[in-house]
Amino acid sequence: MDSDLKTEAIKRAKVLMVGAGGIGCELLKTLALSGFQDIHIIDMDTIEVSNLNRQFLFRQSHVGQSKAKVARDAVLRFMPQICITPYHANVKDPEFNVDFFKQFNVILNGLDNLDARRHVNRLCLAAEVPLVESGTTGFLGQVTVHIKGRTECYECQPKPTPKTYPVCTITSTPSKFVHCIVWAKDLLFAKLFGDRNQENDLFVHTGDGSDSVKPTDDIFERGLDEVSVQYGRKIYDHVFGYNIEVALANEETWKNRRRPRPIFLGDVLPEKLILQNGNLEKNCLTEDLSLSAMPSLGLNNSQEIWSLAENSRLFLEALRLFIERRGKDIGSLTFDKDDQLAIEFVTAAANIRASSFGIPLHSLFDAKGIAGNIVHAVATTNAIIAGLIVIEAIKVLEADFQNCRMTYCLEHPCQKMLLMPVEPFEANKSCYVCSETPLLLEVNTQTSTLRDFVDKIVKNKLGMSFPLIMQGATLIFEGGDDLEEDVAANYALNLDKVLTALPAPVTSGSMLTIEDLQQELSCHINIKHREEFDEEKEPDRMVLLGWTTPEKKSQGVSNGENTTAAIPAAPEAINKSEEVEVAAEISRTRRKRSEISETTGDQETFQILPDTDAKNSMDPQEVEDDDYENDLVVLDENPEASKKRRLQ
């Protein structure tokens, strides 16, 4: 297509951007400067201080405002002639349905979670609108093109399941610092500052070593005449001292494990220092006006690893500030890694617990990364990826599909290339989203309930928001906000019934039809009864089969190099806010460029699982990681080691 026709195609195009964060800011700027005239943006987030180091359309004065609206205003200041329509909303809202998507020529994704990315993928398939996906993690990034009938869809590659930990590991036998972080933020923080009515297995023990029953008086309840210092000491001694003593009483647990050390506040800090902890006359605000316990304690370097005594003082001071400065919020707080005081409290609590169990302590900087699943973003990677998105979008608008490419951005040159172009892969014939291949579910139909099936399979595995479940011609469940109360109540009665006790019994050999009308998605699941499951490898007691990764037959694109040269498989960096959820592994196997395959990653979320042998068990409780650092990711291993392995 000549330049005049290309310019005309760009000017006529109506483009939808989903996400206005790190990649989104660069993308909006690049679209505007490339001549696009009609751009729509959806983003439900507001601007946070932590966004400012890489989301360059935003300034300090914009903190708390809508990302979509501020991004629009910023670009219109230097490109006032174009039309930008912002939506401060969730892309999963009913107004953004298939008909809404049909009005656009191409969709450009930069989302903040896997669930929303799946949702957009399905709407694009239903509306038959091309989708350009993208993601970055540090120096790595990728841009992929998904066109119905021509390429694979976003979900053709199964995503890894969230990392899970049994509750007994978190509460009784932690061996990694991440276990201490999960305990501190998901159990202790929630118990002290969250909903008191919510069940929380923090193992509340009495001081006499008896763990058979919980005390009549909740140790976490603060007395009316109890000052914050007394309360803090009581909590400290209870969770780090008495509870550890109780755990040590079970000799069987520690036969092959390192025994923990009970820690009591009086053994760490002298009485005088406990009473003088903090300094009310000093400023308790950081430079960005966030409430913080660090200034009053003289802790200025968040990348320094503090001692047990310093972490103990930070624990007490953070607790005091929550009580005295944010008392009205206690009872409704949830952990947010961008809440300075919350991350200080969680870091201190995790480090004290780590010290007890002989686990190396971490800095607040590192603890924040683990708690929010983050490693730091590189702004230039975002800019490169944004440019590649626009290049692919222009190809789509020109209907130049044969030249569309999936492009991977590498940290180090491979075959003298930092940008690795690969032809899009064909659709996976076993994909339940873009094909009609039925899935197989192995489940104990006599013990598993419909609620288990809806939560673990339909919503978690299949990513459906408002599912409709049918067994033959019988509708056994329907979800949605628009249901009549009596209808919703009737369906709710089915949720706690085992599958064989439903109005239309689900047994081995049954086929369930699952639909999501908002996504215009339907799939079939064949049921196979199974009695036994491996509690460690199959904690859900349900195994979904039939969704497999196809053999890649795509041809790599030469950049002047020998196309038969062996190179490592390219990574897919899936973004958690607009950028990354988890860095995908590049295969160890060296392959020909014609055999390049991507490994798909999902954001590493942590899930606490009930332990069937534990005296106190809890329902599966997923650690919320939906709104932390936009372009960051936590890796399972040392990034340098991972990098060396990938580049072998």
Is 51 assigned to a binding site? yes
Is 237 assigned to a binding site? no
Q: Which two tokens stand for residue 192?
A: 């002290």
Is 512 assigned to a binding site? no
How do beta strands 566-568 and 406-414 pair? unpaired
Is 83 assigned to a binding site? no
Beta bridge partners of 467: 516
Q: How are strands ordered across the β-sheet holding 474-478?
A: 474-478, 467-471, 511-516, 521-529, 439-443, 542-545
> Given 25, 83, 124, 168, which residue is catalytic?
168
Q: Which two tokens stand for residue 367?
A: 């603890």
Is 24 assigned to a binding site? yes
Instruction: Report the number of secondary-structure helices (H) and strands (E) in the chain.
Output: 20, 21
Is 23 assigned to a binding site? yes
Is 32 assigned to a binding site? no
Is 52 assigned to a binding site? yes
Kindly state the helix (H) or strand (E) to which residue 413 belongs, with its residue range: strand 406-414
Is 43 assigned to a binding site? yes
Contacts of 94 (CB under 8 A, 6+ apart): 518
Is 353 assigned to a binding site? no
Is 387 assigned to a binding site? no
Kindly state the helix (H) or strand (E) to which residue 70 belongs, with its residue range: helix 67-76
Q: Which of 541, 615, 636 is nearest to 171 (CA)?
A: 615
- Alpha-carbon gap, residue 170 to 68, rounded angstroms: 39
Q: Which two tokens stand for residue 467?
A: 């599912």
- Alpha-carbon gap, residue 478 to 488, rounded angstroms: 8
* Residue carrying the six token digits 């989104």: 24
How do beta strands 521-529 and 511-516 pair? antiparallel
Is 67 assigned to a binding site? yes
- Alpha-carbon gap, residue 298 to 312, rounded angstroms: 14
Is 379 assigned to a binding site? no
Q: Which two tokens stand for residue 198?
A: 């919510």
Neighbours of 64 (CB within 10 A): 9
DSSP 441: E
Active site residue 523: no
Is 371 assigned to a binding site? no
Q: Which of 432, 471, 457, 430 is nearest to 544 (CA)?
A: 457
- Alpha-carbon gap, residue 612 to 605, rounded angstroms: 22
- Alpha-carbon gap, residue 53 to 376, rounded angstroms: 10
Is 113 assigned to a binding site? yes
Is 33 assigned to a binding site? no
Find how far residue 42's CA is from the centre of its chain. 19
Is 472 assigned to a binding site? no
Beta bridge partners of 136: 141
- Given a contact cutoff of 8 angstroms between Cβ atoms, the answer to whether 397 and 145 are in contact is no
Is 404 assigned to a binding site? no
Is 117 assigned to a binding site? yes
Is 116 assigned to a binding site? yes
Phi and psi, residue 623, nearest 5°: -75, 125
Is 22 assigned to a binding site? yes
Q: Which two tokens stand for residue 374?
A: 């983050």
- Alpha-carbon gap, residue 313 to 276, rounded angstroms: 10
Rg from Cα positions in the chain: 26
Is 489 assigned to a binding site? no
The annotation places the binding site for Zn(2+) at 153, 156, 431, 434
The annotation places the binding site for ATP at 19-24, 43, 51-54, 67, 112-117
The annotation places the binding site at 19-24, 43, 51-54, 67, 112-117, 153, 156, 431, 434
Which residues are catalytic, by number?
168
